[in-house]
Structure 1
Amino acid sequence: MFDQFVNFVRDVFSEPTAFIPLHEPRFTGNERRYVMDAIDSTFVSSVGQYVDRFEEQIRDYTGASCAIATVNGTAALHIALLLAGVKRDELVITQPLSFIATCNAIAYTGAEPVFIDIDVTTLSLSPTKLKSFLDSHTEVRTGNCYHIASGKRISACVPMHTFGHPAQIDAIVQVCRAYHIPVVEDAAESLGSTYRGQQTGTFGLLGTYSFNGNKTITCGGGGMVVTNNEQLGKLAKHLTTQAKIPHRWAFDHDHIGYNYRLPNLNAAMACAQMEQLDMFIAHKRHLAEQYARFFSNYAYQFIQEPTQSQSNYWLNAILLNDRRERDEFLEFSNNRGIMTRPAWTLLTKLPMFENCLRDDTTNAQSIEDRLVNIPSSVILA
């Protein structure tokens, strides 16, 4: 199958000999014109019309009441956790299969992650295992959830929509609501993905997106916080601009603030990318259909969108039989100019988080051993 895969990818991407990356950006719209306009305006930093326009585009697209642009997705998640009330020496539930930024943002608050296993159909936090952990190891008192053994408050839950595929987010939110735990969605990879017709990132108290260079749309960096809580939205805007009290000349600040605002230059590119988002997703879904047909002829599972979901298919993925075969596939494809990558090393194995609380991680370990991401760039005729 390995040879057939390489030939198939080269045929689909119409690249008979050139290197084929995992996911590269496409700039086919107004990117250059908007960026030059931002330069000509002299508003190239965190104030400018494109920042406002980008936030409006995200509000319109997702249906969220508030959207606050940030310099990157990790900054967005950090601010969202602070807004959710996460404090030092508290606990935040998340999943072991995720990019390091998820746990880094938790660590920035001074809190510690608690790792709950994933669901194999979504590759994201399992609501069943979440409920089992909370039922067995926590209690609710005075309107808060506490981990019984450590006595620490569980102040948030951060499910991540893995590779753009929606988690069972409504069930996760329902479980957390019963335990008075706010949900902050890490939707960094899933802009444009929907669950039961609703955009990922808009189910929890807050949600966050990333616009890094390898995402479905990009502005070089960039992130976004979304929420339907107007008060939190205003505070997010305030905190990400150094908590400066608006005034024509005075420099007064009323909170510890953060230099997290997105520059207008980046926002200009983002606005052009947003205009093409639906088109990009349509092409990515077509590529996923082609992969699904190809792998149906072989004894390997192509990861498809969960039920009741529509995925942006940010990164396509397959499951091989074991880690040995996974590594053979990675070496074979990369040696032939087809970029493939394994899933992230489980966060529970990293030295910064290996001593954190965890439940069973059997599903996550199985996915880490067998999953490979395959080329997923938008193909334009």
Structure 2
Amino acid sequence: MDKFIPLSVPNFKGNELNYITDAIEAEWVSTGGAYIDRFESEFAAYVQTERAVACQNGTAGLHLALILAGVEADHEVIVPTLTFIAAVNPVKYLNAHPVFMDCDDSLCMDMSKLKKFCLEECNFIDSKLINKSTGRQIKAIVVVHIFGNMADMPAVMDIAEEYNLKVIEDATEALGTYCLEGRYKGKYAGTIADIGVYSFNGNKIITTGGGGMMVSRDPGIMKRAKYLSTQAKDDAEIFLHNEVGYNYRMTNLQAALGVAQLEQLENFISIKKENYQIYKSKINDGLNGLKILDFREDIRPNYWFYSLYIVNLEKYSRKRIMESLAKANIQTRPIWGLIHEQKPYLHNQAFMIEKALAYYTRVANIPCSSNLSANDVYRVIDKIAIHVVKQGD
């Protein structure tokens, strides 16, 4: 049988073992230790923010971000429908209500529809955006940078300023992505909005096994994020807690792994860019009816995931392509089920969902690990090509 080619797995070829061994030998393995401080500091330096706060995972970071944005029970939060459900569930944790927005061709939130929704479906009264159909206040927007692409941040920040909304960047898939031009030139994904959140899950571009990170341009928000994520300790010696806090801390072992991974991030991005370009040139130019989706031209993406797009649904089935690759021992993944169609969210408002429906039926993700060799990439392409020939291209 051919070698298994996974979709996206970690790459541990740096100082991971050295740093983890050091943490174990120092006997700092839990939620305290030098590597946590080091990871936060080096991460902040990489994305060019003053401070970063490590947390348990990206979902915990998003939960805290919503709290810090002032979201409370019965508020509404505008979210994308085309995303992983972890970007939306924290809204429910607070007994608030998501309002689902469509995507554009970047797969990120459609800002023209967001603007239309605010203008036509809401009233702006006393500096509050009120949803006409529900009477609830819309408090925030969660923008997700899908697959390492980047949403139109100038547009969403203009809308947020006009309607007094907080913006949370879910950059869990976009560590290393940054703007190449415009007023945010040089700004990294996650550092433009009020609060940014990252994930280090096992399939992300760098991993700590789990884990996440929060950033903000507001030092007060970062101070409060640290406070809430560490059980809201007002006096650690006599255990005084004036608020309900959360055990959302990262462990020192995870942080040790993160420091080693961060050292390799730019190399990972270079490898992923090279493999992306091979996929794109061979599939877009050689396989009629299929293509690899582009990233925005005004950004340096991190090339996290590669999206195989079926142009011609009459000729090709996403399911059949994925089944064909599975038989060849190649792992793929369909794009997520749209969140507004999931059972917990059927009764929530969804506004003009159109493109997301089309992309849902046409996109599959193909192997993209940073330790993927060029030979592996060509093997994936060859297996896709064989399937195309069998389908009568």
Fold match by TM threshold 0.5: yes
Q: Give the alignment partner of residue 322 of structure 1, picking from 309, 313, 324.
A: 313
The equivalent residue for 1:195 is 179
Q: Distance in 1 between matches of 2:291 and 2:354?
A: 18
1:219-258 to structure 2, matched below 5 A, reads 219-247=208-236, 249-258=237-246
Query: Where has structure 1 moved over 2 Å in runs of 4 or more?
Result: 321-324
Q: Give the alignment partner of residue 93 of structure 1, picking from 75, 78, 98.
A: 78
Q: How far off its partner does 1:131 sit?
A: 0.2
Q: How far off its partner does 1:380 sit?
A: 6.5
The equivalent residue for 1:153 is 137
Q: Give the alignment partner of residue 324 of structure 2, picking from 325, 332, 346.
A: 332
Q: Distance in 1 between matches of 2:50 and 2:75?
A: 29
Q: Give the counterpart letter for 1:145 in structure 2.
A: L
* 1:224 alignment partner, SS class: strand
Any idea what the Cα deviations from partners look like across 1:174-217, whole Å, max 9, x if unmatched? 11211111100011000001123310001110010000000000
1:334-353 to structure 2, matched below 5 A, reads 334-353=326-345
Count of residues paired in the alignment: 364
Q: How far off its partner does 1:305 sit?
A: 1.2
Q: How far off its partner does 1:252 sit?
A: 0.3
Any idea what the Cα deviations from partners look like across 1:276-325, whole Å, max 9, x if unmatched? 00000110011111111111212212112112011111111111133961
Q: Give the alignment partner of residue 193 of structure 2, picking from 200, 204, 213.
A: 204
Q: How far off its partner does 1:47 sit?
A: 1.0
Q: Distance in 2 between matches of 1:201 and 1:238?
A: 21
The equivalent residue for 1:264 is 252
Any idea what the Cα deviations from partners look like across 1:38-83, whole Å, max 9, x if unmatched? 1111111111110001111111011122211001010011001100
Q: Give the counterpart letter for 1:40 in structure 2.
A: E
* 2:88 alignment partner, SS class: helix
Check conservation: 2:235, 2:241, Cα contact below 8 A: no
The equivalent residue for 2:292 is 302
Check conservation: 1:170, 1:203, Cα contact below 8 A: no
Q: Give the counterpart letter for 1:373 in structure 2.
A: N
The TM-score normalised by the length of structure 2 is 0.90
The TM-score normalised by the length of structure 1 is 0.93
Q: Distance in 2 between matches of 1:190 and 1:322?
A: 29
* 1:199 alignment partner, SS class: coil
Structure 2: where are the runs of 5+ without partners?
181-185, 374-393
Q: Does 1:378 align with 2:363?
A: no
Q: Distance in 1 between matches of 2:278 and 2:44?
A: 32
Q: Does 1:29 align with 2:20?
A: no
RMSD: 1.3
1:127-146 to structure 2, matched below 5 A, reads 127-146=111-130
Q: Distance in 2 between matches of 1:39 and 1:178?
A: 51
Q: Distance in 2 between matches of 1:85 and 1:203?
A: 18
Q: Distance in 1 between matches of 2:313 and 2:140?
A: 34
Any idea what the Cα deviations from partners look like across 1:212-256, whole Å, max 9, x if unmatched? 000000010000111010111100000000001144x21001111
Residues 319, 380 of structure 1: alpha-carbon distance in 2 compared, 3 angstrom cutoff: closer
Q: Distance in 1 between matches of 2:140 and 2:222?
A: 18
The equivalent residue for 1:3 is none
Check conservation: 1:66, 1:229, Cα contact below 8 A: no
Q: Distance in 2 between matches of 1:307 and 1:360?
A: 26
Check conservation: 2:130, 2:137, Cα contact below 8 A: yes
Q: Give the counterpart letter for 2:210 in structure 1.
A: G
Q: Distance in 1 between matches of 2:268 and 2:337?
A: 29
Q: Give the counterpart letter for 2:11 in structure 1.
A: R
* 1:154 alignment partner, SS class: strand
Percent same amino acid at aligned positions?
38
The equivalent residue for 1:5 is none
Q: Distance in 1 between matches of 2:218 and 2:143?
A: 19
The equivalent residue for 1:13 is none
Q: Distance in 2 between matches of 1:244 and 1:292?
A: 51
* 2:365 alignment partner, SS class: strand
The equivalent residue for 1:360 is 352
Q: Distance in 1 between matches of 2:242 and 2:265?
A: 38
Q: Give the alignment partner of residue 29 of structure 2, picking from 27, 44, 48.
A: 44
Q: Give the alignment partner of residue 125 of structure 1, picking from 83, 105, 109.
A: 109
The equivalent residue for 1:83 is 68
Structure 1: where are the runs of 5+ without partners?
1-15
**189-198 vs 213-222, which moves further:** 189-198
Check conservation: 1:65, 1:229, Cα contact below 8 A: no
Q: Give the counterpart letter for 2:233 in structure 1.
A: K
